Amino acid sequence: MSFDLSARLAARRAEHLYRQRPLLQSPQGPEVVVDGQPLLAFCNNDYMGLANHPDVIAAWKAGAERWGVGGGASHLVIGHSTPHHELEEALADLTGRPRALLFSNGYMANLGAVTALVGQGDTVLEDRLNHASLLDAGLLSGARFSRYLHNDPDSLSSRLEKAVGDTLVVTDGVFSMDGDIADLPALAKVAKAKKAWLMVDDAHGFGPLGANGAGIVEHFGMSLEDVPVLIGTLGKSFGTAGAFVAGSEELIETLIQFARPYIYTTSQPPGLACATLKSLELLRTEHWRREHLNALIKQFRDGAQAIGLELMDSFTPIQPIVIGDSGRALRLSQMLRERGLMVTAIRPPTVPAGSARLRVTLSAAHSEAQVRLLLEALEQCYPLLETSESVETYHA
Ligand SMILES: *Cc1c(COP(=O)(O)O)cnc(C)c1O
C-alpha cells in the first residue's frame, strides 16, 4: 500500500495537532450542548447573535413556503430567483457599492473573485496572515504569488515594485485568528500609487464594525476607488450562510462571465436568501447589538488584563489568549471545559507555529454575567497551566 494514512494520523496526534469535531446537539448560541454536555460557549462567529433568531427562522420558513427549498440550477441557467436578486440589491445598499453578487460561501467567493481577476502574467500580493481561502485562491489563480509582512504597507510597497501585469492586493479586513484590523487607508494608498487593486475580505468585520454594521470600509470610510473588491460572508454576523462580492457594475459583470465557482454551482436555497434579508435588516438597524457587544469586549479585555492574560491588539469580538505551545493551549481549553465552558484551542497550521491560542469570541447574545463566568474560570485555570503535569493525557 502506498497510502500510509495511519502514519500520517499518528504523526498528527504526536504533534498535538489532531483535529476532532465537537458534536453540537443544540442550536448555535452562548448556551449549547456539545458531546452530551451543556456548555457556555465562546467560540462561534455569530457575533450579532442572529443564527438562532426567531425572526430569521420565521423568514426562512416563509421563504421555503413561497419559493420552495432547492435552488434547482445555477444562477446562469434558471437558479437566480427573486430573493437572491433582492438580497444582492440589499447588500449593494449596505456596502454603498453599485452592485453585489451572491455566492454560496466565502471560500467560493474568494476563489471566484481572485481567479477571475488575475492569472498567468499577473501578480497577487497577500498579507501573510490572510485566511486560507484567500491564500488558496492566490495559488490557484496562476498569478505570481507573494506574501507581504502582516499589515505592513512598506513590505507591500517593496513587493509592488517587482509586480508584473495586473496586480491584486488581498487582505482580510478583520484578521480571523488575531482579531486586529487591516490598516486599509495605508494599504489602499500604497496600492493606488502602483495602480494595483485592493481586495478586502471582511468576513469578520460586517456586523461589529461600522456605524451600520457595514464593516471595515464603513469604519474607515473607504470608497469604491479605495477598495474596488469587497468580500463579505453571511455565515458569521448575518447568522445564515453564503457570501458576496460588492463592487462596480463592471466587476460584477466580469464575475458573472468568468468566476468559475460562481458559474458552476447550484444557487443557494432561495428561502435562505429570505432569511438573510431579515438578518441584514436586524444587523443594520438594531444598533443595541453593536453597543452591547462593544461593552462585552471592553469588560473582557479589562478583566483579562487584570488576571494577567496575554491578549492581542484587538478591539473586535475576536479576543485570542496567546499560549504558544499547542499542548498547553489544549490543556487550558480542557480545563475550561471541565468547568462547563467551551473555548477552542487554535493550533498550527491554522496559526503560525508557536502561537497556539484560545480563540475567545464574543457575541451580542452573551450577557455580562456570562463574560464574568468566563473571566472567573480563566482566573482559576490559567495559573494551573504553569504547574499542570504532562499534557499527553489531554491530547485529542
Ligand atoms: C470564514 C471565512 C471565510 C469563509 O467563508 P465561508 O462562508 O464560511 O466559506 C473566508 N474568509 C474569511 C476571512 C473567513 O473568516
Return the H-helix or E-strand segment holding 87. Answer: helix 82-95
Give 223-253 pLDDT, tens digit per residue: 999 999 999 999 999 999 999 999 999 999 9
Please tell me if the CB atom of residue 235 comes closer than 6 angstroms to any atom of ligand 1: yes
What dihedral do alpha carbons 314, 320, 324, 326 form, nearest 10°? -150
Whether residue 116 sits in one domain with residue 37: no
Ligand 1 atom closest to residue 174's alpha carbon, by position in its atom list: 13
Do 123 and 171 lie in one domain? The reply is: yes
In a domain, 133, yes or no: yes
DSSP run (H or E) holding 13: helix 5-14
Is 165 exposed, middle or buried, given 0-12, 13-18 or 19+ CB atoms closer than 10 A?
Answer: middle
Among 28, 43, 103, 107, say which to mutate for ligand 1: greatest number of ligand atoms within 8 Å of CB: 107
Please check whether residue 160 is in contact with residue 152, taking contact to mean a CB–CB distance below 8 angstroms: no
Q: For ligand 1, is residue 106 a contact (CB within 6 Å)?
A: yes
Prior bond of 348 cis (ω within 30°)? no
Is residue 268 within 8 Å of 104, Cβ to Cβ? Answer: yes
User: Do residues 309 and 252 both lie within one domain?
Assistant: no
User: CATH no. for residue 36?
Assistant: 3.90.1150.10
> Which pLDDT tens digit goes with each residue over 316-360?
999 999 999 999 999 999 999 999 999 999 999 889 999 999 999
Binned at pLDDT 50, 70 and 90, residue 388 comes out as low
Q: Is 106 annotated as a binding residue?
A: yes
Statement to judge: residues 68 and 144 lie in one domain: yes
The pLDDT of residue 390 is 45
Establish if 394 belongs to a structural domain.
no
Going by the DSSP 8-state scheme, the letter that residue 229 receives in this structure is E
11 lies in a domain? no
CATH number for the domain spanning 110: value is 3.40.640.10
Cα separation, 202 vs 96, in Å, equals 15
The rounded distance, in Å, linking the Cα atoms of 117 and 70 is: 30
- pLDDT range class, residue 16, cuts 50, 70, 90: confident
Q: What is the dihedral of CA 250, 173, 150, 314, to 10 degrees?
A: 170
- ∠ Cα 279 42 310 (to 5°): 125
Domain match, 311 and 207 both: no
Among the three residues 285, 305, 330, which one is the final residue of a domain in this structure?
Answer: 285
Task: Answer yes or no: do 69 and 165 share one domain.
Answer: yes
pTM comes to 0.95
Specify the residue for cell string 507555529: 353
Q: Which of 177, 229, 233 to mutate to test the pocket of ligand 1 (most atoms within 8 A of CB)?
A: 233
Mutation probe of ligand 1 site: the residue of 28, 102, 105, 133 with most atoms within 8 A of C-beta: 133
Residues 6+ apart with CB under 8 A from 266: 70, 71, 72, 73, 74, 79, 104
237 lines ligand 1 (CB under 6 A): no
Question: 297 and 210, same structural domain?
Answer: no
Query: Is the per-residue pLDDT at 110 higher than 70?
Result: yes
User: What's the DSSP call for residue 78?
Assistant: I
Rounded Cα gap, residues 139 and 160, in angstroms: 18
Q: Which domain-ending residue is among 285, 310, 341?
A: 285
Query: Rounded CA gap, 235 and 114, in Å?
Result: 20
pLDDT at 395 over 80: no
DSSP 3-state of 70: coil
Q: Is the model's pLDDT at 376 over the cut of 90? A: yes
Is 337 annotated to bind a ligand? Reply is: no
| Beta-strand relationship, 123-127 and 167-172 | parallel
Q: Does residue 176 line the site of ligand 1, with CB under 6 A?
A: yes
* DSSP code string of 38-55: EEEE---S-TTS-TT-HH
Same domain membership, residue 259 and residue 295: no
Q: In the structure grid, which three cell numbers stand for residue 119, read together?
A: 492569472
- One domain, residues 68 and 88: yes
> Does residue 10 form part of some domain?
no
In a domain, 396, yes or no: no
Is 131 touching ligand 1 by the criterion CB < 6 Å? Answer: yes
Sheet holding 123-127, edge to edge: 99-103, 243-247, 229-233, 197-201, 167-172, 123-127, 144-148
| Catalytic residue numbers, as ranges | 176, 204, 236
Residue ending a domain, among 270, 285, 300, is: 285
Tell me the average pLDDT of the chain.
Answer: 95
pLDDT for residue 67: 98
Q: Please report how many Cα atoms fall inside a 13 Å half-sphere around the Cα of residue 113, on the Cβ side.
A: 37
Domain presence at residue 202: yes
* pLDDT at residue 396 greater than cutoff 80: no
Instruction: Give percent above pLDDT 70 in the chain.
Output: 97
Give the residue, by CA position, lying nearest to ligand 1 atom 9: 106
pLDDT digits (tens, 9 = 90+) for 125-166: 999 999 999 999 999 999 999 999 999 999 999 999 999 999
Q: Is residue 311 part of a domain?
A: yes
Residue nearest to atom 14 of ligand 1 (CA): 203
Residue pLDDT, tens place only, 259-299 = 999 999 999 999 999 999 999 999 999 999 999 999 999 99
46 lines ligand 1 (CB under 6 A): no
Sheet holding 345-346, edge to edge: 318-324, 356-361, 345-346
207 with 277, same domain? yes
pLDDT band, residue 1 (cuts 50/70/90): low
Pick the atom of ligand 1 nearest to 236's CA: 1
**Which residues 6+ apart lie within 8 Å of 126 measured at CB?**
134, 135, 138, 145, 146, 147, 148, 169, 170, 171
Cell numbers for 297: 469586549
Domain hosting 165: range is 54-285
Residue 15 has pLDDT above 90, yes or no: no
Q: How far is the CA of 283 from the centre of ligand 1 (A)?
A: 18
80-101 mean pLDDT = 98
Same domain (yes/no): 256, 296: no
Same domain, 254 and 360: no
Residue 106: φ, ψ to 5°: -70, -35
Residue 395 resides in a domain: no
Q: How many domains does the chain have?
A: 2
Question: 199 in ligand 1 pocket by Cβ < 6 Å?
Answer: no
Distance 25 CA to ligand 1 centre (A): 23
